A = this chain, B = another copy of it.
Amino acid sequence: MTVAGEGVMADPQSDAIWILSSTFIVFTMQSGFGLLESGTVSVKNELNIMVKNAVDVVFGGLTYWIFGYGLSFGNASFSNAFIGWGDFFVTAEDEKLGIVYSKFFFQASFATTATTIVSGAMAERTKLVSYIVFSMINTVLFSIPAHWVWSSKGWLYMLGVVDIAGAGPVHIVGGVTGLVATLMLKPRHRRYDGERHKAPTMSSPTNAVLGMFMLWWGWHGFNCGSTFGISGLKWKLAARSAATTLCSSVAGGVGGFFLSYIMKDRKFDVKYMINGLLGSLVSVTAVCAVVQPWEGLIIGFVGSLVSNAGVALLDKLKIDDPVGCVVTHAVSGVWGMLVAGLFLRKDKLLNALYLHKASTGLFYGGGLYQLGIQSFAVVAIIIWTVVVSFICLKLIDVTLGLRVSLEEEIIGADIIEHGILEEEIIGADIIEHGIESIRNGHVRGETQDAIEQNTADNNHIEVNPAALVMGDDLFQGVIIHADLYNVIY
């Protein structure tokens, strides 16, 4: 997005249609995040994290309509360099109808993406009710920096900051909020106990890679649509955005494969590929339309290394980020913002995006000015995000509570929050008994006994009666937790 949307568009019909078409693509990213997260967490929370991705659009979309859009792009007299005001409960008539609604639709897809990033960092241990409240509040976190960067009144815009598709308001905000959330939530149960430094088994690596694919294609809509139109020279920038984004992701993928090959003894760990590819896509968002493909390659390759290094560092620090979103978005987002201070060239194409306040970057002889502006923006956005997200999450924590109980975490959200078991036809009581055992702090033997007793009554089908009831995945979940529980108590 650029401030282009604020003024009168040169060819509003073509521009609006481009924005709508791009947004159709951008919204598929929500399903991409959902699948990536669902495939990466343990089986017992596979459904829950999909639901949380729907929550982001449902509840985040609601507050974005109520106040988010207004805080970013409101033009009422109270609006100033720091905050937009007006256009709450988005409604438009006559002249503004097409522009406001297409812009709202597009921006809503950005706002809900910023929230969805956080869902990964909070995975496997956050109460759904608390997450719903969080997703509503989180809209503020995105909307204010969006005003700074993308409103013609915004103070960062006036300083000349360049962030075409949201490295700051979307990715740094999302990633940093994720960091605050995971620090507050603390690691998942037994994630960093003793010398066991292992994450739980991915529920479905295949789904995780499918999610990565969906994000990959969606990102092209995200970056290309951010020219916010095709009139004038903007269609050329949209085309360059496509080529540069593709090249950046290519380099990111190469980086991920390369790193995994070296670090994991010639094995290709899909997490390296996913983190590398997504890290590179984040890295290029700020400048996608205004740099050349070969620059995209460099930017993406560095972004991929930075992203994978960050994941390793976070793990060393025993900060539990189940889906790797904190680093992929925050660290690569910072790199993405700085990139504009290095690679920017001041030409008529920059002006076509209303970025005439920006300066030439360091690598093209413009000195440190633009890099300074970009760094300043990074710092400002991080400070904003840390402070406000801490306050919001703390408020939720002391009122509703953020984290589920230990018993609930061990059993998993798919059973606890979504009541998968209740629908079953046979044997539910046996499982309920087993879960009760766990709830009551009894050791695994209890669950075992119940299952074995039932087993004996059923012609020795072992394993089956309970597994039948719950679906195999859930059954495995319960047993795993029973086992873990047993180890602890």
Contacts and interface: CB of A to CB of B under 8 A. Distances in A.
A38 interface: yes
A20 B264 contact: no
Interface in A214-247: 214, 216-217, 220-221, 224, 230-231, 235-236, 238-240, 242-243, 246-247
A460 B467 CA distance: 16
Nearest to A235: B13
B206 A89 contact: no
A335 interface: no
Contacts of A437: none
A266 to B, nearest CB: 8
A7 interface: no
Task: Quickly give the copy total for this chain.
Answer: 3
A130 interface: no
Contacts of A65: 247, 250, 293, 297
A8 to B, nearest CB: 14
Given A250-B57, A254-B59, A269-B418, A13 B230 contact: yes
B236 A293 contact: no
A347 to B, nearest CB: 9
A47 B423 contact: no
A467 B471 contact: no
B250 A101 contact: no
A201 B423 contact: yes
A425 B210 contact: no
A73 interface: no
Contact of A206 (B38, B100, B212, B423): B38
Contacts of A230: 13, 17
Contacts of A62: 250-251, 254
Nearest to A474: B201
Contact of A257 (B58, B247, B269): B58
Given A105-B243, A424-B198, A467-B476, A91 B270 contact: no
A268 interface: yes
Interface in A406-457: 414, 417-420, 422-426, 444-445, 448, 452
A360 interface: no
A198 B425 contact: yes
B212 A54 contact: yes
* Interface size range of chain A in the complex: 35 or more
A475 B34 CA distance: 26
A315 interface: no
Given A16-B235, A17-B230, A89-B294, A102 B480 contact: no
A57 B253 contact: yes
Interface string A174-196: 00000000000000000000001
Contacts of A472: 472-473, 476
Interface string A245-284: 0110111011001000100101111100100010000000
A403 B51 CA distance: 35
Contact of A468 (B224, B444, B461, B476): B476
Contacts of A292: 91
Contacts of A23: 220, 242
A268 B128 contact: yes
Nearest to A426: B483
Interface stretch (A24-32, A164-172, A318-326, A377-385): A24-32
A356 to B, nearest CB: 19
Contacts of A14: 13-14, 17
Contact of A462 (B38, B414, B462): B462
B294 A210 contact: no
B102 A246 contact: no
B213 A98 contact: no
A97 B243 CA distance: 10
Contact of A51 (B46, B268, B423): B268
A429 to B, nearest CB: 13
Contacts of A89: 294
Contacts of A417: 267-268
A109 to B, nearest CB: 9
Contacts of A25: 24
A309 interface: no
A264 B419 contact: yes
23 contacts: A17-B230, A20-B242, A21-B21, A24-B217, A24-B221, A27-B216, A27-B220, A28-B217, A34-B209, A54-B277, A62-B251, A62-B254, A98-B239, A101-B236, A104-B293, A199-B423, A201-B423, A201-B424, A205-B418, A270-B418, A452-B459, A452-B460, A472-B472
Given A58-B277, A205-B418, 20 more contacts: A13-B231, A16-B235, A17-B18, A27-B217, A28-B217, A34-B213, A55-B257, A59-B250, A61-B246, A65-B293, A97-B349, A129-B261, A132-B257, A198-B425, A199-B423, A201-B469, A268-B418, A270-B418, A426-B483, A472-B473
